Amino acid sequence: MRMPLDLLLPSWPDPHLDLGEYDPEADLVALNMGPQHPSTHGVLRVKLYLDGETVVKAVPYVGYLHRGVEKLCEKLTYVQITPIVDKNDYVSPMMNEWAVNAAFEALLGVEPPPRAQYMRTIFAEIQRIASHLISIGTWGLDMGGAIGGGATVFLYCLRERELILDLFEEVTGCRFHYNTHTVGGMRHDLPAGWDKRAKAVLDRISARTWEYERFLLDNPICRQRAEGIAVVDPTLAMELGVSGPILRASGVDYDMRRDAPYGAYGDIDIQVPVRTEGDALARALVRIAEMRESARIASTLLDGVPEGPIGALKPVKLHGAVKLKDGEEGYAAIESPRGELGTYVVAARERRGAASPYRLKIRSPSYHAISLLPWLCPGHTLSDVVVIIGSIDPIMGEVDR
């Protein structure tokens, strides 16, 4: 059954091509793409209705990676939640940590000290680079195959990402699910000399972003596959709540870091890359430009990391430091690599000395991006669908939660 989209979006027509001339039983082929498919970026399932190889209708189904994270958080204390939400957007765990902890801080009325704010911002920007590297690399896999030129692109992207994971490992001891943010600040301080090593890595990466740009722009096959594919209408995207690189590639100049500064973004001038083409290639180019900009932001901030404490609250004092009443709420949003990642939290009274949220809701950008698929896929071929999915870069961990 199809979702009554016209109820949700009165101003938008049915996304599917006109089915008038088709006898769906005889002429259209229904094909499940996913959940177990190599290029649906995890377990996204798109049910495609094909005429030959042309997609007439595409219906995305989500929920195959549902782990009940939000429900689970209602049974965990605020400190215990951080390592759980790490697994949501598993390509950029730092962002998940920051988003929930910022919401908790809004709820508790705690302000992290400046050093923690700077660390968070720097980590976030470095994480953004790592995340975009994966995005470009897996997009290459979608276009070129895991046994072909695409794998070469992917492994070159991983080469740079390794450097970033080394940096994070040095600070947190983990290469991936860091658990380094906590309510009111950070858990691990920067080791001595880390800033120099980080700057060296960032210089290296920003010098190499041209490789990816040339890979996209100088490669006729890539241009043929991506140019003019799946043009996102900015109005539609805004109505669906899409944000991040997809929106910026469609000409909407919106970036939380500049337009609603948080962390240490207020202290720095941010150039937001915007393109107007709105196609798959533009989205990738925006991501590459963002990688370069992120490297610049992180390098600049690394010069000015203030001294001081890294946490506002001592972890042992967290319980009971602030008394929460039923129904108090907090919301915070950050600009994750995929767009606006928000956390909404409603407090519950302490029970047996432990405070847990009454309700925690994560607003994940990938979920909104996936809602674009019914509009983007029709009219393109089956081969384009993987390019489209790759270009909107959904992370099923945060879609299904």
Partner 1 sequence: MNPYVPVAFAILIAIVFSLVFVGLSYYFGPRRPTKTKTAVYECGMPPVGTTRQRFSVKFYMVAVLFLLFDLEAVFLYPWATQYSTLLDSFPGTFVLGEMAVFLGVLFIGWFYCLKRGAFQWD
Partner 2 sequence: MNGAPPVAASGLLFNSAPLHALVLGLVVVSLCMGVAAWSIWYERKFAARMQNRPGPTEVGPWGLLQPIADGLKMLQKEDIVPAAVDRPLFELAPLLVVVASLGTLAVIPWGDGLVIADLHIGVLFALALSSLMLLPVWMAGWASNNKYALLGGMRAIAQGVSYEIPLLLAATVPIVLAGSFRLGDIVEAQAGLRWFALWPPGPGAVAFVLFFMASLAEANRIPFDIPEAESELVAGVTVEYTGMKFGMFYLAEYLHTLIASAIAATLFLGGWDMGPLGAGVHWMVLKTLVLFAVIFWIRWSWLRLRADQLMALSWRWLVPLGLVLVMASATWVVLA
Span from 135-143, 202-210, 299-307, 331-339 in contact with partner 2 (CB under 8 A): 135-143
Restricted to residues 222-261, the positions that interact with partner 2 (CB under 8 A) are 222, 224-225
Backbone angles phi, psi at 174, to 5 degrees: -120, 150
Q: Report if residue 52 touches partner 1, rule: CB under 8 A.
A: yes
Backbone angles phi, psi at 303, to 5 degrees: -70, -25
Span from 32-40, 139-147, 252-260, 273-281 in contact with partner 1 (CB under 8 A): 32-40
The answer to whether the beta carbons of residues 311 and 70 sit under 8 Å apart is no
Which of residues 37 and 199 has its CB atom nearest to partner 2 in the complex? 37
Which of residues 88 and 391 has its CB atom nearest to partner 2 in the complex? 391
Helical residues (DSSP H) of 218-331, grouped into ranges: 220-226, 234-239, 245-249, 256-259, 280-303
212 to 216, 229, 286, 292: CA distances (angstroms): 6, 19, 12, 11
Query: Residue 223 and residue 211: Cα distance in Å, rounded?
Result: 15
CB atoms within 10 A of CB 207: 11
Record the tokens describing residue 330, joined without a space.
């907090």
386 to 133, 363, 377: CA distances (angstroms): 18, 25, 10
Q: Exactly one of 98, 156, 212, 265 binds partner 2 (CB under 8 A); which one?
A: 156
Q: Report if residue 204 touches partner 2, rule: CB under 8 A.
A: no
Q: List all residues 6 or more positions away from 13 whose beta carbon is below 8 Å from its beta carbon.
A: none
Q: Exactly one of 150, 278, 339, 342 binds partner 2 (CB under 8 A); which one?
A: 150
Which of residues 39 and 180 has its CB atom nearest to partner 2 in the complex? 39
Q: Report if residue 37 touches partner 2, rule: CB under 8 A.
A: yes
Which of residues 45 and 292 has its CB atom nearest to partner 1 in the complex? 45
Q: Report if residue 347 touches partner 1, rule: CB under 8 A.
A: no
Residue ranges that bind partner 2, judged by CB under 8 A: 29, 31, 37-39, 53, 140-152, 155-156, 159, 219, 221-222, 224-225, 381-386
Residue ranges that bind partner 1, judged by CB under 8 A: 26-27, 29-37, 45, 47, 51-54, 381
